[in-house]
A and B are shown apart, each in its own frame.
Chain A
Amino acid sequence: MTFVAKPRVHHPQLPLNDLGLTRRDYEGSVSTLCAGCGHDSVSAAIVQACAQLSLPPHRFAKVSGIGCSSKTPSYFLSHSHGFNSVHGRMPSVATGANLANRELYCIGVSGDGDSASIGIGQFAHIVRRRINMLYIVDNNGTYGLTKGQFSATNDKGSTSKKGVPNLYAPIDLVSMALQIGATFVARSFSGDKRQLVPLIQAGLKHEGFAFIDVISPCVAFNNHNGSTKSYDYVRGHTGNVIEADFVTPGVEITADYEPGTVEDVAMPDGSTLRLRKLDEQYDPRDRVQALSHVQRAAEDGEVVTGLLYVDPDASDCHEILGTPATPLNALDESVLCPGSDALERVNASLR
């Protein structure tokens, strides 16, 4: 952990993206999380995803709740505004931010305490409302900032650092998101950047609510032998259903994929989401199958990762509300104020 400012000097050989920017232009301040924290890998994946997509680094609204995960919006995209809000309430702040300006990319970062306990109500309702955003949960099964209490995503029987077993069944946010109607649901592992980066890219391009549950081990409190969210456990119990590979029109970003069945899904902006089917039977556009697959795997102690469900024709809250293409925060008096003549007619109707 360090408070030293990150130097802004670029290596001269760093590759430039379509905007002429390097990966460094998408970074944030130096992380204050523990060395080896999975959350920092997630931040790095966000940086890489945004840089590769050549998205303007100042056109994001970054929102978070409270907790280790919620600190991370400081650590990526420092040219964009961030809002570290209230414990469990990131979804409502994200909703307001998105309603105010639909043109910004909205990234919400939350944790398992933030989203599965104190904020589970808001999590459920932002899924329902279909806010156009990428919602990432850095899921480590523990409360880090308060020193290692179990969170609601922790598996029953998993032990704390001191060896005490968790007595309660876990809440699976992926199953919840599928059940409530999220139009993009994925799970990944912070240690698997090759899978995580394309998922983040696809989630950013999804025109609706995109949810990624990222198993992100806590090196301080939940990376020991009895934990089911440790690096070793997750690496040993991962079942990969779908590899997602995000392709912008014309340019393929990542090419070195293993052979297998490939399925391209057209994204609304003309780009292509390439899905690699590892399981012949798996159709990522079948919500019911996704739910049963995730739950069956959980019964077998497996963590299913990859893109579990996507609805390529998803709509978002602005479509539901019928708001204009111009962001609401850019409308002025000429549009917003009906004027004195209209008011006089209202007066007349009240006499």
Chain B
Amino acid sequence: MAETTYNDFVIRFANVNGSGSASANGMFAKALFRMGIPVATRNIFPSNIEGLPTWFEVRVSEKGYAGRREGIDIMVAMNAETFAEDIESLVPGGFLVYDNSKELDVRLRRADINRVGVPISQLVLPEFPNPKHRALFKNIVYLGALSALISIDFEVITGMVSAQYKGKDDLIAPNIHALEIGRNYALNYLDCPLPIQVRYSDAVGDRIMVDGNAAAGLGAIFGGATVCAWYPITPSTSLAEAFEKYCNQLRTGKDGERNFAIIQAEDELAAMGIVIGAGWNGARAFTATSGPGVSLMTEFLGLAYFAEIPAVLWDIQRAGPSTGMPTRTQQGDLLSAAYASHGDTRHPLMFPSTPKECFEFAADALDLADRLQTPVIVLSDLELGMNDNLSEPFDWDDARRYDRGKVLDRDALEDIEAFGRYVDVDGDGIGYRTLPGTHPEKGAFFTRGTSRDEYAAYTEAPEAYTRNMDRLLVKWETARTLVPAPEVHDEGRRAAIVYYGTTALPIPEALDRLREDGVELDTMRIRGFPFDEEVRAFIERHEIVFLAEQNRDAQMKTLLVNDLGLDPARIDSVLYYGGFSISADTIYEQVSDYFEARKLPRLRAVSGRRDGAASAGEVGS
């Protein structure tokens, strides 16, 4: 028997979607989280309601590695259709937990794995007469069996069942009974526990477990969004739904008045139009969509850029192009978002990596859009948006006031002689705006997508058009100083890796593995576009710069080259675009291949300090 390991494995549940497995699988992850063990969950699901294969993967890591890791240690194989491939995906020495009510087909046997058979169908048959219940409780039975097999504190699970069905008390007893059926079978008939186990830890600390979309919906409430217009599209739908759920809890007044307006629009064009109409009229507004929705919104995004109207757009990216893989993750919308629309357009981008950052950026994006009077696009993805992950708890400073940007109220208009909507009074490229209905005599202007002069008067004069386009570039430079700065760890090494968004998840693990080989890398996590000066400086400080991203065409590299005028040869891409989240293995292998291919002696070439380099330091935040 192998040596026992604790709190370090990958378990995957193979189910049929629509079979009620999500609840049991979620409880499994939450139980480990409540035992203080860091977990990262991944729901791998089809674009389908019922009957197709679905997988739920939990990365359990005492070290807190949250990225995906190749290879499955424990496979709970509950889907006959995918049984063969599920067995294949186990690492040698891994454990196959399966329903052995029927004997395992000899052709599916692997000599190098361990089979853990639980006769789940036979066990539930006499206990639950209702066939629908029987199917549901199968999931609970394997959860019970797992509690014995890997030593999950049973009281944690039963406590969760009681909490989950509070108010539906008649469901508590049968669920606990199903848990006990599985647990008792394992204790009585199986070699328990397995050498892969969990034990109580304090590695979670005060962290919370939440998905990025819920965090973003909540952040939009704290940030003062009052109008949300959206159209259902995976994987963004749960963001608007979270906004509504938390609004009902947190934004309903004493007399029942709802201090928010949510419109499920007829399409993404209308969703963006509603956001822009609301932004023009002074309400904080946002929409959430995915790549195909961004495509539909591009005409409006160009209008809002040119007419200078605040708007916030969350793009929860999925694998494109076209319908692509709608339930798989990717970072494929950078270019379509950054330059959305015809003519010379560009939009500030934000790249959150964690649920906490989703919460913060949701509020910050509203400030930024008001300050810059332009659409701000937050690029999350399915990996971050739809999976429960550990996160630092959310926090909010009650002294914080919303930055509504340059808006002249009635008194301010009284005090000025001539109002010019597009006059660059402060030299930052941002004019002063007024809201409809503010003043009987002053401040009214006509908003349009056609060219105009500084006083919002229609003109096609080349000089006026060019002046306006050039002022928008001044505003772009202001944006550069206001978007989130990169997070930099620079210890003066000669090689570095740059990444953003969910590509950050496997980075700590990849760095540890590379370090074992003698490859040490400085890191920079990009958080905003246009790029902060530090982004250029960091890249220029390093001889070898890897850029890890989850798309085929190295879109962030294109943005860097375009926005900063960098030499493309300065950046070596690490790319993954298969639809899962990028794994530490992928990053480790592609970086290692770089050194192998160039026959570079790793320690000397990479880990040496740069001459005159600063000592260990952290720049940005």
Contacts and interface: CB of A to CB of B under 8 A. Distances in A.
Contacts of A84: 446-450
B32 to A, nearest CB: 13
B437 A99 contact: no
Contact of A96 (B285, B396, B448, B449): B285
A124 B266 CA distance: 9
Nearest to B273: A92
Contact of B444 (A78, A91, A322, A329): A78
B456 to A, nearest CB: 10
A234 interface: no
Interface stretch (B185-193, B251-259, B571-579): B251-259
Interface string A31-62: 00000000000000000000000001111110
B226 A331 contact: yes
Contacts of B222: 337-338, 343
Interface stretch (A100-108, A218-226, A252-260): A100-108
B431 to A, nearest CB: 15
A103 B277 contact: no
A213 B148 CA distance: 72
A82 B443 CA distance: 12
Pick from B259, B401, B446, B449 the residue with the most CB of A within 10 Å.
B446
Interface string B46-82: 0000000000000000000000000000000000000
Given A61-B437, A329-B283, A331-B226, A99 B257 contact: no
Given A99-B283, A129-B263, A331-B259, A58 B444 contact: yes
A54 B440 CA distance: 13
A86 to B, nearest CB: 5
B229 interface: yes
Interface size on B, as a range, is 35 or more
A92 B269 CA distance: 8
A96 B446 contact: no
Contact of B437 (A78, A94, A104, A124): A104
A89 interface: yes
B434 interface: yes
Interface in A318-351: 318, 321-325, 328-329, 331-333, 335-340, 342-343, 346-347, 350-351
Given A61-B437, A329-B281, A339 B398 contact: yes
Contact of A100 (B272, B277, B395): B277
B421 to A, nearest CB: 10
B277 A63 contact: yes
Interface string B264-305: 011101111111111111110100000000000001100100
Contacts of A92: 229, 265, 269-274, 276-277
A103 B278 contact: no
Nearest to B359: A343
A265 interface: no
B261 A321 contact: yes
Nearest to B397: A340
A343 B278 CA distance: 26
A100 B281 contact: yes
Interface size on A, as a range, is 35 or more
A338 B440 contact: no
Given A99-B278, A101-B281, A323-B257, A347 B226 contact: no
A104 to B, nearest CB: 5
A175 interface: no
Contacts of A325: 257
Contacts of B449: 84-86
Given A94-B277, A95-B277, A58 B259 contact: no
Interface string A100-128: 11011000000000000000011011000
A289 interface: no
Contacts of B271: 92
Contacts of A95: 229, 263, 270, 273-274, 277
A104 B438 CA distance: 10
A342 B283 contact: no
Interface in A293-337: 318, 321-325, 328-329, 331-333, 335-337
A83 interface: yes
A316 to B, nearest CB: 12
A79 interface: yes
B104 interface: no
A333 B396 CA distance: 12
Contacts of A291: none
A83 B280 contact: yes
Interface in B448-506: 448-450, 458
A1 to B, nearest CB: 13
Contact of B446 (A81, A97, A339): A81
A324 B255 CA distance: 9
A343 B249 CA distance: 11
A307 to B, nearest CB: 28
A85 B446 contact: no
Contact of A93 (B210, B273, B440, B446): B273
B18 interface: no
Given A94-B277, A331-B226, A336-B251, A86 B283 contact: no
Pick from B222, B285, B450 the residue with the most CB of A within 10 Å.
B222
Contacts of A93: 273-274, 276-277, 280
B335 interface: no
A142 B444 CA distance: 32
Contact of A350 (B209, B274, B279): B209
Interface in B189-245: 206, 208-210, 218, 221-222, 224, 226-227, 229
A188 B437 CA distance: 29
A124 B270 CA distance: 12
Given A321-B258, A338-B222, A347-B208, A96 B440 contact: no
A351 B208 contact: yes
Given A81-B445, A350-B208, A343 B276 contact: no
Contact of B402 (A121, A324, A333): A333
Given A57-B440, A92-B270, A351-B209, A328 B260 contact: yes
Given A83-B447, A92-B277, A99-B263, A60 B208 contact: no
A139 interface: no
Interface in A244-262: none
A73 B446 CA distance: 9
B260 A125 contact: no
A91 B437 contact: no
Nearest to B247: A338
A319 to B, nearest CB: 11
Contact of A99 (B209, B261, B440): B261
Contacts of B280: 81, 83, 93, 96-97, 100
A54 to B, nearest CB: 13
A164 B293 CA distance: 39
Interface of A: 56-61, 63, 73-74, 78-86, 89, 91-101, 103-104, 121-122, 124-125, 129, 318, 321-325, 328-329, 331-333, 335-340, 342-343, 346-347, 350-351
30 contacts: A56-B440, A58-B444, A73-B446, A81-B280, A83-B448, A84-B450, A85-B273, A85-B303, A92-B265, A92-B277, A93-B273, A93-B277, A95-B273, A96-B273, A97-B281, A99-B278, A100-B227, A100-B281, A100-B282, A104-B437, A121-B267, A125-B266, A331-B259, A333-B401, A336-B259, A336-B402, A340-B398, A343-B395, A350-B210, A351-B206
Given A95-B263, A99-B227, A329-B226, 4 more contacts: A80-B444, A81-B437, A121-B270, A321-B261
- The 10 tightest CB contacts between A and B, nearest first, are A96-B277, A92-B273, A100-B283, A96-B278, A100-B281, A81-B436, A329-B282, A93-B277, A350-B208, A324-B257
Interface of B: 34, 206, 208-210, 218, 221-222, 224, 226-227, 229, 246, 250-251, 253, 256-263, 265-267, 269-283, 285, 299-300, 303, 307, 393-398, 400-402, 434-441, 444-450, 458
